[in-house]
Amino acid sequence: MIYISNRLSSYYLRIILIFLIFSFKATLAQETGLDQKVTTIQELLSSVEANKLTFDQEFKTVSPGYYDYTISEINSKGNEESTTYSFALADIDKNSVRYFTKKDVILVELAVKGKQKLIKKLSDEGGKIAYITSFTMYGLNADNGRDLESAIENSIPEAIEVNKNLLVLDSYKDHLQWLEKNIGNVDLPKHQITQQLSKDLEKSGVVVLNQTVDSKNERFEFNLSLLNPNSVNYKISGDEFLIEVGSAKGVSGITFYSDEVLKGYTDKVFFYANSLANGKNIYKVLKEIIPLATTEFDTSKPDFNTVNSALDYLNNHIDDIQSDGRTTAQKLTLEDYMATFSLKETISDKNEEHLYSFNLTDINQNKISFNDKKTRFYLVLNTNKEEKYIGHSFNGETENYEKEILLYFNSYDEAYVSKEALQFLVVHFKDQITETNESFEIGLEDALSQLSSEIKPVQADNLRYEQEIELLETETSTFKFTQTESSDKKTTEYVYEFSAKDLSQKSSKVIVSGKRVWAEIGVKSEQKLVKVYKDGQVQNYENKIEIEALNPENAKEIVAILKRLAASKSKL
């Protein structure tokens, strides 16, 4: 078996070598073919004499596919002014190449595809740099202009093929090493840029970009996999050639520091290029590395297959958050699907503590979103249908119920993985909970027993509610609900008499307002069939009963029992 394996290895090695040799030869052939066509262009360019000026032209190869075209204008006094255009033939739109007459000269125009500013113009003896979309060459006469147009058009397809093979990288590692080596310092006529890209040794896909423009020091930290490859774009202004890339889905997930001070989060980062070829290559490698980085990042992420694994990751990454001059310590604890989230913040000598309690299955796993404010990056957890089911206390004092909760993080990538952990937890418990089957019939006595255990005394601000339910008459399925409302000043007793036959499943629901929660039990067709007494005095009939609840979970249980009772037609 070893002998066969070695033979196979040798066979595949020979195949790879043959492929590489063939590719190398093909590349050489392409470059040779392009060189020949470029030679034709060079031979067609000559000195052109116009009425008042003489134009000397030079077309020089800088590197395969890249060229410098220099035009020198000489006036009658012998004064000379030169301009050099640096460009890649592969960028020129073949359909835009045209010759035309302008006064006393024949011109041949070359324009970049998509009108991008990918032609570098150097003038004033190199002291002035600009990036433009097109330039013109000079023809000796009409025939020469037509020949020059044709030679340029013929060279472009060859240049495109050569361009494809100029920079071929395979793995994520190869791409990253290229970026680290080729994103470097840039010297411009008016200022200098120092630039260095390095990888984070602990986090897969994370890189750090340090830039110094003149005396201004900036640092950007981001995960390559969380960038958008379709956002890679040239951003050229004046003498600066930059490549722009943005975060995926527009999230401001790039951490930004100035002079080592955290300034906040942005959705874009820019790389300076030191030449046209360098800029085009950075553009190409960035577009290629982002999908590779995504695979690399996904491979490194933990596999959330248990509640403990998801909860541990989450708590390990929200425990110590430093931002905006404050320290934030957070922790999520679970008792089955019921969650308690604590948030403690220290700002100078001031301490704040928030405590949130909620049913994890009330969180909408599809609407967990990213956001940032100043130097704080966080996840926003929203409840289903934006119901205010999240209990909240601040420094021990009860606050109004909330419909969302914020979890703070030190970086976008940690928040990104934590979002997956939270989604796993929510879906896990939703799958575990057997939803109440409202069509399941329940008898009057069973309903009374269950309601009696759920309907309890409730303290809400300055009011206290004593509540009791009893079965008043079996034959008519009539219940009596007594609610005594007490404050420091007075006590009021309300009595509601209703038949289970009149209850509505559709209009029975949980209501939350401020700090108050109650179960609102409706009557079919909103008919006023509920008999009401206030302190023993008969009141107008009502179309609903309001039962105070300790919290949304308690209210949900009361509503569920009465809905089941309303559906139990055969037992009423």
Q: Report pTM.
A: 0.86
Q: pLDDT value at position 432? A: 87
Per-residue pLDDT of 55-64, as tens digits, reads 999 999 999 9
Taking residues 73-93, report their average pLDDT.
94
Please provide the average confidence, as pLDDT, over all residues in the chain. Answer: 92
pLDDT band at 440 (very low <50, low <70, confident <90, very high): confident
Residue 462: what residue type?
N
pLDDT band at 531 (very low <50, low <70, confident <90, very high): very high
pLDDT band at 460 (very low <50, low <70, confident <90, very high): confident
Per-residue pLDDT of 420-439, as tens digits, reads 999 999 999 999 886 544 45
Q: pLDDT value at position 530? A: 97
Q: pLDDT value at position 17? A: 44
Per-residue pLDDT of 265-317, as tens digits, reads 999 999 999 999 999 999 999 999 999 999 999 999 999 999 999 999 999 99
Per-residue pLDDT of 251-270, as tens digits, reads 999 999 999 999 999 999 99
Q: pLDDT value at position 31? A: 63
Q: pLDDT value at position 434? A: 62
Report how far residue 452's alpha carbon sits from residue 77's, in angstroms, rounded to the nearest whole number. Answer: 109
- Tokens 């330039």 identify what position? 135
Helix (H, G, I), strand (E, B) or coil at 289: helix
Report how far residue 86's alpha carbon sits from residue 275's, in angstroms, rounded to the nearest whole number. Answer: 9
Report how far residue 415's alpha carbon sits from residue 407's, in angstroms, rounded to the nearest whole number. Answer: 9
- 31 versus 104: which is more confidently predicted? 104
Q: Angle of helix 412-432 relative to helix 307-316, nearest 10 degrees?
A: 150
Closest CA to 266 of 231, 230, 316: 231
- Tokens 């409302």 identify what position? 485
Q: pLDDT value at position 14? A: 54
Taking residues 365-380, report their average pLDDT.
96
Per-residue pLDDT of 142-162, as tens digits, reads 999 999 999 999 999 999 999
Taking residues 343-365, report their average pLDDT.
94
pLDDT band at 33 (very low <50, low <70, confident <90, very high): confident
Taking residues 203-229, report their average pLDDT.
95
Taking residues 554-569, report their average pLDDT.
93
Measure Cα distances from 324 to 216, 345, 346 in Å: 21, 11, 11
Percent of the chain whose predicted confidence (pLDDT) is above 70: 93
Per-residue pLDDT of 499-520, as tens digits, reads 999 999 999 999 999 999 999 9
Q: pLDDT value at position 324? A: 77
* Helix segments in 405-496, DSSP class H: 412-432, 444-454
358 has a pLDDT exceeding 50: yes
521 has a pLDDT exceeding 60: yes
- Exposure string (b/e) for 1-20, b if CB count within 10 Å is 16 or more? eeeeeeeeeeeeeeeeeeee
- Tokens 């695979």 identify what position? 295
Q: pLDDT value at position 220? A: 97
CA atoms within 13 A on the CB side of 381: 27
